[in-house]
Structure 1
Amino acid sequence: MNVSSSATPGKRELPAYLRSIKRVYVDHAVENSPMAQRVRTRLPHVPWTVLEPGQNLDGLISGSGDSLYLKEYKGTFLRFCPGTRYYRCCGYRIIHIGENCPLKCSYCILQAYFQDPVLKVWANQEDLWRELDMAFGHDPNKRFRVGTGEYTDSLVLEPLTGYSRDLVAFLKDYDNVCLELKSKVVNLSWMDAVTRTDRVLPAWSLNAPYVASHEELGQSASLEERLAAAKTCVENGFRVCLHFDPIIRFEGWQQGYTDIIDMIFDYVRPEDIAYMSLGSFRCMPELKTVIERDFPASTFIYDEFIPGIDGKQRLLRSLRVEQFRHMVNLLRSKGMDRQLYFCMESDTVWKDVFGYTVKDLGGLSQHLLARAFG
């Protein structure tokens, strides 16, 4: 594949958001794992602390988010998306490889999900491979649409861990699995490990330029850089996915989202996009407190929100529908249609904006599974 050596881990200086890591903690059981050895090579001057069996991080860490923890994970790696029965979920499966993200996005739900800011990576990969083999190899005719970008950014730690590269290499033997790698950074070092470009979907989160500049404050790639990376992937035989979630209201939002939608098609064509999600900002009530404390310049949380039936704060439906219609009409004018879907919305919103519901697609999960496998 046409990937420059500069995209390969270890061939260039670490991104700024990883150079802030000041200490690494590692469970004794995975101290000599390939993952730990790799990270140690790439952070040679950072102090390491080995945790003995039964020891945890209590009393060892600060709240600054400058620590990396290589953990022997004892939980389930392959999970269902944490959706709710009250709204339509896309139904993809999560490959759980770690938690937290060093990027500083004001709206990030992970700030309310997790109790501490420590970057966690599950270093017992042999346990992961065994679990995935049991799930994917049991019935080769059952197809899976999976991703790693739910509890962390899929690529943000790639220069240290090479986790995505390991994963795509492992999945080469499972034709029934399509892997999505969703990110706000640009790292294509995993690409030369891919043997089937139709089974990996590189994906980037996008937003209006105002939101990207005012609410994404932690060295995310620029919108142009993300789209240029998507173009590179397309040129190397991949289809890509794009995600607008969360869509946020601000003064001039109509023009802002028009601008980014116009920008997309300067880089890729509609047929290059496997699917694109649209989701309005929504959050657990406690996230508002975190945003007020850590991002005092952010004002979008003071918009017209009400409690949804899932307990999350949601923008008034009329305001959500207004934004969705604006974006869907623009995207349809560019040649997009059945690639578009809503993340966690009701049938009423689907009908109001698209003119049909997920039932007309044969169910959202099945529809996107068909889109993923092309």
Structure 2
Amino acid sequence: MTKLPSHLRKIGQVFVDESMTGTPIARRVRERLAEGGRADIPWTVIPPDQDRVVFDQGDTQAIYLKEYKGRFLRFCPGTRAYHCCGYRIIHIGENCPMACSYCILQAYFQDRVLKVWANQDDLFRELADGFGADRNTRYRVGTGEFTDSLALEHLTGYSRDLVHFLEDYDNVVLELKSKVVDLSWMDGTTRTDRVLPAWSLNAPFINEHEEFGVSTLTQRLEAARTCAEAGFKVCLHFDPIIRFDGWRDGYAEIIDRIFDYVKPEQIAYMSLGSFRCMPQLNPIIEDKFPETTYIYNEFVPGLDGKARLLRPLRVEQFRFMVDRLRAHGMEEQLYFCMESTEVWKEVFGYAPKDFGGLGKRLMGRGFGDIGILSKI
């Protein structure tokens, strides 16, 4: 019997669209729940005329294997007011089984239903039409925008399926961004040059007090080392960077620890982003995480409608982290997620336009051929 990972042990119900009951995803989820000793979890088939489910059973979570009828490939929901990294989203599902106090998904999806798009044939058909239309157009894509790329991998095998499907597309590089460790997607993979395993990192204090149900920082760094040793370039993300008492020591510690596991040349890129939130997120944090205090820092409204830490305070943290990372040999791997030209210049001394645009740089780093012009 294969025990379920700790972050999946609150699942107590499965819903499945009637049209999806015979899909590989549905069969796999049922089999793996049974293998994990949870064959007793009730399954409810959703009729064709019902578009959503309502589930409210305290701390218990539900999985909804749904026939998704929207677009699977979409643009990152950035704003022109700040520099966006320009990657594309492969939309595979919504919501997350972990509980991080700062997570914006709490405001997007105010329920405990983990949605998985089970109609993979439709997904692969759309991707084939998009990626295959012009093999000279390159795509840097990821699945970790509206869900965690690997949180449900133990049950669904979704990333493994996607990695294998994309092996035929030289013009696509896939980033798998997560806060848990599940490397089962690596089985049988031959294209180490087209997958970017990625993990979010934070100061140890934030990991211990604001992230729940996730893998430890050590586990994530060990996984990054495993992938790097197997030939993959890895990505690391500090987003959100949070201001708290002792933040300098905390972020210095985790930055220094990174290079005990991977070398700068094994890192494709690393993002830095300050905590920012929509107005409706604050009351959710106050209610669900009453001991959290960082939301009472000095914030101002941003041009995207989200509250941001006061600019001098953001710049202070950014400078500290960039200086520390530069001391370890990092430079072109670093970028800001959703920051202004002015902040770029204050911290880095240059702006994205000075090196041809952020999307172009990250495309080159993702494909490992810096300097090649790419359509983005």
TM-score class, shorter-chain normalisation, is over 0.9
Superposed, 1:177-326 pairs within 5 Å as 177-217=172-212, 219-326=213-320
Query: For 1:289 and 1:63, how far apart are their aligned partners in 2?
Result: 19
Match of 2:335 in 1: 341
The residue type equivalent to 1:288 in the other structure is N
- 1:22 and 2:12 correspond: yes
Query: For 1:207 and 1:156, how far apart are their aligned partners in 2?
Result: 18
Deviation for aligned residue 1:94:
0.4
TM-score (norm 1): 0.95
Which one of 65, 90, 97 corresponds to residue 102 of structure 1? 97
- 1:51 and 2:46 correspond: yes
Matched position secondary structure for 1:82: coil
Match of 2:36 in 1: none
**Residues 194, 367 of structure 2: 8 Å contact kept:** yes
Query: For 1:59 and 1:153, how far apart are their aligned partners in 2?
Result: 22
RMSD of aligned Cα (Å)? 1.1
Distance 1:63 1:151, change over 3 A: farther
CA deviation vs aligned residue, 1:50-82 (integer Å, no higher than 9, x gap)? 001011445554464511000000011001000
**Residues 149, 183 of structure 1: 8 Å contact kept:** yes
**Residues 200, 238 of structure 2: 8 Å contact kept:** yes
The residue type equivalent to 1:230 in the other structure is A
Which stretch shows the higher mean deviation, 189-198 or 319-328? 189-198
The alignment-based identity, stated in percent, is 68
Q: Structure 1 regions of 5+ residues with no counterpart?
A: 1-10
Query: For 2:192 and 2:222, how far apart are their aligned partners in 1?
Result: 18
Which stretch shows the higher mean deviation, 100-109 or 113-122? 113-122
The residue type equivalent to 2:367 in the other structure is F
Which stretch shows the higher mean deviation, 106-115 or 244-253? 106-115
Superposed, 1:321-332 pairs within 5 Å as 321-332=315-326
Match of 1:38 in 2: 28
Matched position secondary structure for 2:11: coil
Query: For 2:55 and 2:149, how far apart are their aligned partners in 1?
Result: 27
Number of corresponding residues: 363
CA deviation vs aligned residue, 1:300-354 (integer Å, no higher than 9, x gap)? 0000001111110000000000000000000000000010000000000000000
Distance 1:321 1:59, change over 3 A: closer
TM-score (norm 2): 0.95
**Residues 61, 67 of structure 1: 8 Å contact kept:** no
**Residues 65, 119 of structure 1: 8 Å contact kept:** no
**Residues 227, 234 of structure 2: 8 Å contact kept:** yes
Q: Structure 2 regions of 5+ residues with no counterpart?
A: 34-38, 369-376
**Residues 10, 59 of structure 2: 8 Å contact kept:** no
Query: For 2:215 and 2:54, how far apart are their aligned partners in 1?
Result: 34
CA deviation vs aligned residue, 1:131-154 (integer Å, no higher than 9, x gap)? 000110000010000000110110
Deviation for aligned residue 1:12:
2.8
Deviation for aligned residue 1:234:
0.7
Superposed, 1:332-371 pairs within 5 Å as 332-371=326-365
